[in-house]
Structure 1
Amino acid sequence: MTTVERWISATRGATGFLTRLPVGYRDEDWDAFRSTPAAFPVVGFVAGALAGVPLLAADSLAPPTVAFGYLLAVYAVMGVHHLDGVADLGDALVVHGDVERRRNVLKDTTTGVGALLSVAVTVATLALGGLGLAGLPVRAAVGVAVGAEVGAKLGMAAMACFGASGYEGIGEWFTSASTPRAFLAPVVVAFPGVALTWPDPVAAVAICGGVAGIGLPWYLANRDLGGISGDIFGAANEVGRIAGVHAGVIAWTLL
């Protein structure tokens, strides 16, 4: 497989894993993706642009309507499977016990109060962020939405390159396939995102916020679960997006 073919395969695998877009990826695409962390921000640009389409109506429709459209678009493009990571993490964190006990709850299919609360807060916070986007000029709103998605995916690439997993599963598949040196490529891919709202820096702030947002689930995973799992990647995707959106909206308000 040539370098170009590998990039195409990795991007197809990333798109199939991170979104609901019908790309029809194959097993070799998954293998290429997990060893090519730069594919994370590539999908961030595409998915963020598609999710930001309802924001194009920010100047003509009521802000709550635009915000609702953005919320629907996010989960239509990205799917709700990443919220499962938020739910599982929420349940694991409210359980008393050692790391092994929390891991067992993380894998349990039963939905508890921690899952319900964490998912409700996640969706509500994203909706409120969408309401903030609806009050921005169209270019800024779309730029922040794309920047937040790119930042979240860049943060996931950082987890893959610098994180560690203490047990088998999707988390281990990513962290074992990448090294810290591999993080340079995702940064290079994500960097053009800072120009989305140039000269206003709100898109750059949204990217930075998205990266910073993944720090919370990453920290909790290392503290309470013994390392990163597939659920943590899913939770990081959701939390990073929210942090990026709110960071961009705050930056526009203050600048």
Structure 2
Amino acid sequence: MVLTALRGAIGFLTRIPIGRDEAAWGAFARSPWTFPVVGYLVGGLVAAPLLLASPPASVPSPTAALGFVLAVYAVTGIGHLDGVADLGDAAAVHGDREERRRVLKDSRLGVGGTVALALVVLGLATAALAVVEVAATAGSGGVSLAALGIVVAAEVGAKAATAALVCVGDAPHEGLGSALTDESAPGSALPVIALAAPAALLAWPRVLPGVAALLAALATAALVARWARRRLGGISGDALGATTEIARVAALHAGVIAWTRF
């Protein structure tokens, strides 16, 4: 069951072609602890392009940062960005919950969604550039693997943040959100946090950057949950997808700030 749940998590949270069968999905839906575990895998994969800033490649920092952004969406897909766009459009609506829910189901992209997408992608790119520059400085000419630990910690934090919402949230309607939230209870968040916590040590010997990344991701989840409950009536699939994207950006920036300022 553990391996089946992990296969399902990889199949759902990445574009790696495994775990797409019904049994794997069912096991994953009942196992929110798999989110942060997959976060370690994804974080390691997407951090690899940042190493191009080191010799012998020594590509320019902006190029390495672009490689990181491309890697993120090559590995995880762009499905979660749809949640960002939908929540952005819903946030721009001047109406009640029903009107916002109607906008969530509208496939057309509005101004709110466009701005939200631009901010998330720009935030991801600038965070990647900051990580490269910090890592190069810390690595004395090469990219410091300790600094790249921020990237993995941020990915683990983003996945843990989403899993936490799965555990404590209630969906406002049937759909992807309810398929996940109905299978978990608040107590299921404890293994999620326990499995995510070691990511704080990935920037060793610096601990604060990893801690900051994890806390920023979880704080993002709390803010999204509060907004979604008040404005949408619960945690929808769009809210879960948007949490992953926004929490990743917040965690990366928080980790870099902690590295450079403390």
TM class by shorter chain equals over 0.9
- Look up the SS of the partner of 1:135 in the other structure: helix
Q: 1:147 aligns with which of 144, 149, 153?
A: 153
1 CA distance for matches of 2:156 and 2:212? 11
Q: 2:8 aligns with which of 10, 13, 22?
A: 13
Kindly indicate whether residue 74 of structure 2 is the aligned counterpart of residue 68 of structure 1. no
Q: Which residue of 2 aligns with 1:159?
A: 165
2 CA distance for matches of 1:103 and 1:65? 39
Q: Which residue of 1 aligns with 2:26?
A: 31
Cα deviation 1:135-175 (Å, max 9, x = unaligned): 12222332011000000111111101111112111111211
Q: Which residue of 1 aligns with 2:244?
A: 237
Q: Which residue of 1 aligns with 2:108?
A: 110
**Deviation of 1:97 (Å):** 1.3
Q: Which letter maps to 2:78?
A: V
Gaps of 5+ in 2: 136-143
Cα deviation 1:190-233 (Å, max 9, x = unaligned): 12212212220122221222222223322221111111111111
Q: 1:101 aligns with which of 93, 99, 105?
A: 99
Gaps of 5+ in 1: 1-5
1 CA distance for matches of 2:69 and 2:246? 14
- How high is the sequence identity, in percent, across the aligned residues? 48
- Contact 1:143–1:197, Cα closer than 8 Å, also in 2: yes
The alignment covers a number of residue pairs equal to: 250
Q: Which residue of 2 aligns with 1:223?
A: 230
Q: Which letter maps to 2:34?
A: A
Cα deviation 1:86-141 (Å, max 9, x = unaligned): 00111111112110111011011111111111101110111111110111222233
Q: Which letter maps to 1:247?
A: A
**Deviation of 1:24 (Å):** 4.3
Q: Which letter maps to 1:66?
A: A
